[in-house]
Structure 1
Amino acid sequence: MVQEYVSPVRVHKYPFEMVMAAYEMRFPSCPQIPVVIECVITEDSWSADDSQRDTTRKCQLNVEAPYLLKKMIGVDYVYFIQKNHLDLKSRVLEIEATNETFAARVGVVEKCKYYVHPDNPDWTCFEQRALLDVKNFFGLENTVEKIAMKQYAANIAKGKELIEEFMKEVHAGGVTELSPWSAGEPARNRELRRVVARGAEPLSPRPAAEGKRLSIADPYTLDSEYIKRYLGELTPVQESRLLQLRKWIADLQKGKVPSDTTLLRFLRARDFSVEKAREMLSQSLLWRKKHQVDRILSEYETPDVVRQYFPGGWHHHDKDGRPLYILRLGQMDVKGLLKSIGEDGLLKLTLHVCEEGLKLLEEATRSSEHAIQSWCLLVDLDGLNMRHLWRPGVRALLRIIQIVEANYPETMGRVLIVRAPRVFPILWTIVSTFIDENTRSKFLFYGGKDYLQPGGLLDYIPKDLIPDFLGGPCKSFVHEGGLVPKSLYVSGAFTERDGDPLSEDSIYRSVSLGKGQLHEVIVHNRDPQSVLTWDFDVLRHDISFTVYRSDRELDHSDCAAAACGGGAGAEESRSVLEGCGGREGEHYHRVEPALVCHDGESIQGSHVMSESGSYVLQWRCEAADSARAAQLMYFHETLASHHYRGSMSSLQSAISGFSCLSGKSVTSSCPSR
């Protein structure tokens, strides 16, 4: 397989002629590059007018390969042939090196070029690329490729340092300035030749007419200082991958080509696999064109309901200079927003935020001294409860997350989640599987007031920029959110794709309860540490709710015998627990305190089932009279322990200890009204 490696353009802030004098100092041997044992000139010639020089060298290299590999292939050294063409008239040096050893099994071609900087005639550019073709090497193809890449990267890293070091030697030798070659100055040209050749005489003369034609300059190059300033630190392999993707996309896109920062984000998202990044980027470019995403910043009009009730917005920056976005998710009425602007409206809002973020990244990079490639997200979960687990809403949010992950990869530098309540692990269990693993690693969680402690927000956000609602001095203009009035709902704005939760095929069940009557649901648990969750609405009268656990294996026939069905005619009903002859405190235990829920309330909660057994969710009608039956609509679900422990461990492994999940609090319910 042929591998191509391309390094960025290196800039030497010296004139071309001085760089040539420094370059020649590395021959015949260079202690700074111990892998090169010796380079011997086999051919050398100058043109009659002293403007052109062709040099061929045979270089002996001591490859840093494992001892066993050297013994297997039977060589201690490898030989390369290096051919240089120096054109002092055009101020260009072209270098081509090919391997002589194992040429039938491995093909290595390295091409380098020194030339005058296009914008500054007193500076010199250097570019380097290599092709490696391991055809057949005793079954050690991968090993050879790794060794070659390691050597290539090492040479790139030392190249600029060597010129700087040798330039000091040139200066020390009394040469501080060299005039460029000029057709009317033969004496000066002869002196220039003497310095750049270190006094070596040619092995044979050559007429000027035989000069070598220069190759066309490659437009797909990147300046190393540009990379460091605007793209950040990249390894030689990463730089090479970026240039490959850039060339491919320029050939494909006849119009606007994405920026280098965009290409780099997609490469990082695919672990610098050019093929995978190319596929991902191609799909994203088609998506942007189809949905006219490039027009969002100029054409998007924020709906009034978003201005009034969406609790999110940009807020200064973090300590690393990243733009900071605040989302008060605990105060966000997902259902109300979806019923008002629909899923498409919420998606457009999200895309507008992302496009704003990309623009802010460009501004932050320009105003800082280093590359800013991602933003910081601060999520306040104060107020989060089971209401936020409204299934249609969660599904809509997950679809939006998938779109953002596919089209805005590697834009999230850090996610700070504060005031996380106990219900959060349940939401995290559902959502985290849809978030890229690399993005998940950037999440930091803080329960309660942990964010105020060492390792909290002050480690990541300047003290004077901590928002006021988190106890800081900085005024935040992010809306507090709140419930969206039903008067703002738009008919047909949001259609629940997987069924309306209030319809007959809903995951919610409806029950009528007369005075004193109860309804019970038995949950058999054989998975200790799994989580039992519930969500219910009281539509008429007051209803008390509690949860019991019994060691005995209860079943629905016991429930029927105890009259747990919920008919409207009975004065009262017996619990399945009592119907089996059980006594509270001896045969079964109350694991959640009784909660009286009033007409019109929505209740959500959870319980970690730390032990096996039968758990009973119990609702009892507390109506003062039996004229009209109480109405109950409920849903319950069990989350497996391995999912829950996974989210727990990920939270506990964060910088904060996530205090709200520790101790006794983890075994009690979290009702909210």
Structure 2
Amino acid sequence: MTDIVATEIVLLDESLPLNEIDQGFYDAIKAEYGTACTEEFCIRLARAYRAEKKNRMGKTMAETKKIMDWRKQINANELLNTKLDQPELFSQCWPSMISGEDYYGHIVNYERLKDIQLDTFLSNFNLEQVLSHRAKHMERMHAEMNAVSKRVGRRIYKHICIFDLSGVGLKHLSPSVINFLKPIFDLGQIYYPESLFRMYLVNAPFVFWGTWKIISNFIDPETKEKIQIFKNAESFLVEARKARIPMTSIPKSLGGQSSGRMLDDTFVVGDCISPTQ
């Protein structure tokens, strides 16, 4: 499979100025919170609830308050400089990496189910600890997106997630595990809205589909539209090429060329090379 040839970048919505309608929501958020929230945060929130038809302003301001209160509660602005409980063990139990960027500059986050040591994970971390680690994970991702934005000279605040379902078994799909994972799913949707560009679930076995009907109930409709499921890596690679994800940004375990950068306490923001270089 040949790689993607770089051409002039087509700007997506996130890289464009706010339209007149969205600008009103940005102004309302900025007026309420001022310098307590960044420009990128205000822009994301101004666009996040477009599907709300009845009272979009009420929804936007209520959700913004919820997020701001939560960020203050967990001291989110300092998370990258905070050492959490057992960081090495958490990274071993739930490894995650950035494998590169797509044509537009979206970073690609890759995780593989069979690398998640479920028993060790559940016996060593309570839900509060897990949520803290995953919040730090999201803060790293956003810091990296900010670094990419500065490098390429346009705003990028969305990412791609590739989740490899190889090795999924009944223990991963039990009601107790799913109920434990639900707040983790919610963390990204509720507290980091408008951050996901696309999610690919790859190597989905037959047993997964029944559980997906349950899991998908946790996911809001807009997010669900961004998720694509593939039975194998081969079919995913065909779609990845159409979506302009170069082979250099696809993990070797899926047939790509990337060894990735681990998203753990050794991670250095901005320490990367553009896939087009």
CA distance in 2, matches of 1:389, 1:330: 13
Is the partner of 1:378 in helix, strand or coil? strand
**C-alpha spacing 1:365/1:425, structure 2 compared with 1 (3 Å):** same
CA distance in 2, matches of 1:477, 1:287: 28
Deviation sequence 1:512-555 (CA, Å, 0-9, x none): xxxxxxxxxxxxxxxxxxxxxxxxxxxxxxxxxxxxxxxxxxxx
Show the 5 A alignment for 1:298-317: 298-301=81-84, 303-317=87-101
- % same residue: 21
Contact 2:100–2:260 (8 Å) recurs in 1: no
Letter in 2 for 1:274: M
**C-alpha spacing 1:278/1:329, structure 2 compared with 1 (3 Å):** same
CA RMSD in angstroms comes to 2.4
**C-alpha spacing 1:308/1:330, structure 2 compared with 1 (3 Å):** closer
In the alignment, structure 1 residue 257 sits paired with structure 2 residue 257: no
Query: What is the match of residue 203 of structure 2?
Result: 419
In the alignment, structure 1 residue 399 sits paired with structure 2 residue 153: no
In the alignment, structure 1 residue 295 sits paired with structure 2 residue 78: yes
Deviation sequence 1:154-197 (CA, Å, 0-9, x none): xxxxxxxxxxxxxxxxxxxxxxxxxxxxxxxxxxxxxxxxxxxx
Deviation sequence 1:295-315 (CA, Å, 0-9, x none): 211013452322333231222
In the alignment, structure 1 residue 269 sits paired with structure 2 residue 48: yes
Letter in 2 for 1:473: Q
CA distance in 1, matches of 2:68, 2:257: 42
CA distance in 2, matches of 1:459, 1:284: 31
Letter in 2 for 1:395: N
Query: What is the match of residue 344 of structure 1?
Result: 128
**Scaled by the length of structure 2, what TM-score is found?**
0.80
Query: What is the match of residue 361 of structure 1?
Result: 145
Shift of 1:453: 5.3
CA distance in 1, matches of 2:91, 2:28: 44
Structure number with the higher helix fraction is 2
CA distance in 2, matches of 1:230, 1:431: 28
Query: What is the match of residue 256 of structure 2?
Result: 472
Is the partner of 1:423 in helix, strand or coil? helix
Show the 5 A alignment for 1:66-85: none
Query: What is the match of residue 194 of structure 2?
Result: 410
CA distance in 1, matches of 2:14, 2:197: 16
Deviation sequence 1:8-27 (CA, Å, 0-9, x none): xxxxxxxxxxxxxxxxxxxx
Query: What is the match of residue 241 of structure 1?
Result: 25
Contact 1:452–1:458 (8 Å) recurs in 2: no
CA distance in 2, matches of 1:456, 1:400: 26
**C-alpha spacing 1:447/1:456, structure 2 compared with 1 (3 Å):** farther
Contact 1:338–1:346 (8 Å) recurs in 2: no
- Greater CA radius of gyration, 1 or 2? 1
Shift of 1:458: 6.1
Considering Cα pairs closer than 8 Å and 6+ residues apart, tell me whether 1 or 2 has the greater RCO.
2
Is the partner of 1:397 in helix, strand or coil? helix
Query: What is the match of residue 222 of structure 2?
Result: 438
Deviation sequence 1:119-169 (CA, Å, 0-9, x none): xxxxxxxxxxxxxxxxxxxxxxxxxxxxxxxxxxxxxxxxxxxxxxxxxxx
Aligned residues: 247
CA distance in 2, matches of 1:330, 1:444: 20
Show the 5 A alignment for 1:439-458: 439-451=223-235, 454-456=238-240
Deviation sequence 1:536-578 (CA, Å, 0-9, x none): xxxxxxxxxxxxxxxxxxxxxxxxxxxxxxxxxxxxxxxxxxx
CA distance in 2, matches of 1:399, 1:230: 27
CA distance in 2, matches of 1:229, 1:399: 29
**C-alpha spacing 1:231/1:340, structure 2 compared with 1 (3 Å):** same
Give runs of ≥4 in structure 1 deviating > 4 Å.
228-231
Query: What is the match of residue 283 of structure 1?
Result: 66
Is the partner of 2:18 in helix, strand or coil? coil
